[in-house]
Structure 1
Amino acid sequence: MAVKKNLGIGLDVLLTATQGQYDTKPEESILAQAEALFGRALEEDKMGDSFEAYYLYRQVVDLLDTPESSLPELSELVSRSLNNIAVILADNSRIEGALSFLRQALEVYPQNQTAIENMKLIKN
């Protein structure tokens, strides 16, 4: 995009700032968003704010409903988020809810070994 130099520095910067911004594939954008949300959720969880972590994990799960959600990496992140939601619920004595989220985690990504182990632990 050729920018006219007589537009002024502010407008010139504004018009060139978005160049290349939309060059990424939609699924890469969704994956980057999921990774960022998951990372923030983990940090909140580590700091002991399980309610904020729960909220952020749910946002990751909601990304599975987007049309670009066919990436295996996204399925794995969603499954890990569902597992972590289950742990938060189990820690708050919501066992049935935790089991439900673990089932969902395994539906989304059956290879999630952590969810498999947590399912065994909760059932015993």
Structure 2
Amino acid sequence: MAIKRNLGIGLDVLLTANEAQPGFPPGQKILSQARLLYGQALEQDESGNTYEAYHLYRQVMDLVGSKALDSTELSRLVSRTCNNLAVLLFESGHTAEAAGYLRQAIAVYPQNRTAIENMKLIRE
């Protein structure tokens, strides 16, 4: 029996990420697209679709890239994304990579208590 997969989720968002939208400051557009991708990733994660969730979380990170995080909301979103990536990686046995994402989550938004606690658990 074939399983239907939503492999193209978010592709349109990535392909139009650099297009100007009238009325939206560039930072606001990135935040809006990041929220959309994060929501899709979280939905896949909660449904147990680990690979699709990982892919969508990575799309959030790719969308933001090395841009300066000019808002607290975007910083929190990136930090949560890094934490969730870390959890997926840790559960797959990739502890070193998970720790790297947790360090990034804490660096981007030091108030992320979940990432701090997860970092403590990984070190044990």
Task: Give the TM-score range, shorter chain.
Answer: 0.7 to 0.9
Residue 31 of structure 2 corresponds to 31
Residues 1:68 and 1:24: Cα distance change in structure 2 (over 3 Å): farther
Residue 85 of structure 1 corresponds to 85
Residue 103 of structure 1 corresponds to 103
CA RMSD, 1 decimal = 1.5
Residues 1:63 and 1:71: Cα distance change in structure 2 (over 3 Å): farther
- Separation of aligned partners in 2, 1:115 and 1:123: 12
Residue 64 of structure 1 corresponds to 64
SS state at 2:76 partner: helix
Cα shift readout 1:17-60 (whole Å, capped 9, x = no counterpart):
xxxx6112211111110110000000000111111111111111
- Separation of aligned partners in 2, 1:99 and 1:76: 18
CA contact (8 A) 1:75 1:109 kept: yes
Identity of aligned residues (%): 52
Residues 1:69 and 1:47: Cα distance change in structure 2 (over 3 Å): same
Residues 1:23 and 1:48: Cα distance change in structure 2 (over 3 Å): same
Structure 1 segments unaligned to the other structure (5+ residues): 1-20
What TM-score results when the alignment is normalised by the length of structure 1? 0.78
Structure having the higher Rg:
1
Count of residues paired in the alignment:
104
Q: Which runs of 4+ in 1 moved over 4 A?
A: none
Whichever residue aligns with residue 60 of structure 2, its letter is V
Pick which of 62-71 and 98-107 moved more. 62-71
